[in-house]
Chain A
Amino acid sequence: MELLLFIALLLVIPFAMAAVVALLFGWIGRTRERQHLRSLDRRESALAAIATTTAPHVVGLTASAGHFVAGNAVMATDLGKGLVANLKSLIGGELRGLTPLLTRARREAYVRMLESAQGLGATAVVNVRYDTSTVVFGVPEVLCHGTALVAS
């Protein structure tokens, strides 16, 4: 009887430990995500004066100069979300926990591009493009680039 109990504990304890670690890191990850989202909201509203478009021109804007600007971000997800995503991928379906990962990376890359444009004194950024790729450990990198226009 005790042997069975012992074996059961031996099997359960590693899973329980893994679950606790995942929960801990998941909590840390969620906190960092909230902070990052607040920072993004703040910076996006500070840069709202710069017009952006995926078209090559802004109607009604005559520019005297244009220069290439870019911003990039490499974003990793936390262990808790990663574990849930791995489990979910066993049965298939949308990995909703990972969606914020790329959204945050895109917003961060976009904000950095606007910050470079602001540094050049630009009033608009045209031809905005996004490129996504994978770097180590399946971690994505998002590049956002465009042409900053300085009004004449």
Chain B
Amino acid sequence: MILVNTETIPGQRITDVHGLVQGNTIRAKHLGRDIGAAFKNMVGGEIVSYTALLAEAREQAINRMVDEANGLGANAVVNIRFTTSAVTGGAAELYAYGTAVTVVAAPEVG
């Protein structure tokens, strides 16, 4: 499945629009990571465990969006956007949304 955050896909022509598709996930953090994060908050710098946590959560949200698009018979998702929100208990909700479309190859004339 082709994923882009533009309206069109280079080298492809949109033949059918299936509408909005979305995927989300709420990830809670692990207590052990939190202690590490609290320490990093003192010395500064990247909190790698949280970066990894959020990257994984984003992948999962995207996969769920792709599953929904597959269910509609689409082979691409365009105009992908994200929102992230912090919820109680220090968890993060990742929401990915886009427009599911069907595309066919249409090589662009140079």
A33 closest partner in B (C-beta):
B44
- Interface flags, B57-97, vs A, CB<8A=1, else 0: 01000000000000000000000111111100010100000
Q: Hey, which chain B residues are within 8 Å of A33, CB to CB?
A: 44-45
Asked if A15 is at the interface of the complex by the 8 Å CB criterion, the answer is no
Pair B45/A149 contact, Cβ less than 8 Å: no
- Given known contacts A68-B80, A135-B92, is B43 in contact with A63 (CB within 8 Å)? no
Pair B4/A29 contact, Cβ less than 8 Å: no
Q: How many residues of A contact B (CB 8 A)?
A: 43
- Given known contacts A56-B7, A67-B3, is B43 in contact with A78 (CB within 8 Å)? yes
Asked if B47 is at the interface of the complex by the 8 Å CB criterion, the answer is yes
Q: How far is the CB of A63 from chain B (nearest CB, A)?
A: 3
- Given known contacts A74-B51, A134-B86, A136-B34, is B44 in contact with A81 (CB within 8 Å)? yes
Interface centre among A68, A74, A146 (most CB of B within 10 A): A74
Asked if B29 is at the interface of the complex by the 8 Å CB criterion, the answer is yes
Asked if A32 is at the interface of the complex by the 8 Å CB criterion, the answer is yes
- Given known contacts A143-B84, A152-B107, is B37 in contact with A137 (CB within 8 Å)? yes
Pair A131/B44 contact, Cβ less than 8 Å: no
Q: How far is the CB of B37 from chain A (nearest CB, A)?
A: 6
Pair B107/A64 contact, Cβ less than 8 Å: yes
A150 closest partner in B (C-beta):
B10
Asked if B17 is at the interface of the complex by the 8 Å CB criterion, the answer is no
Asked if A51 is at the interface of the complex by the 8 Å CB criterion, the answer is no
- Given known contacts A76-B44, A108-B46, is B86 in contact with A67 (CB within 8 Å)? no
B4 closest partner in A (C-beta):
A147
B76 closest partner in A (C-beta):
A66
A82–B85 CA distance with the chains assembled, in angstroms:
23
Pair A28/B44 contact, Cβ less than 8 Å: yes
Pair B45/A79 contact, Cβ less than 8 Å: no
Asked if B40 is at the interface of the complex by the 8 Å CB criterion, the answer is yes
Q: Hey, which chain A residues are within 8 Å of B82, CB to CB?
A: 131, 143, 145
Pair B44/A136 contact, Cβ less than 8 Å: no
Q: List chain B positions with a Cβ less than 8 A from chain A.
A: 2-11, 29, 34, 37-38, 40-47, 50-51, 54-55, 58, 80-86, 90, 92, 107-108, 110
Can you report 12 A-B residue pairs in the complex whose CB atoms are below 8 A from each other?
A66-B6, A76-B41, A76-B44, A78-B41, A78-B44, A133-B84, A135-B50, A136-B86, A141-B50, A146-B5, A147-B6, A149-B10
The 7 nearest A-B residue pairs measured at CB? A78-B44, A29-B44, A63-B10, A133-B84, A68-B3, A74-B50, A79-B42
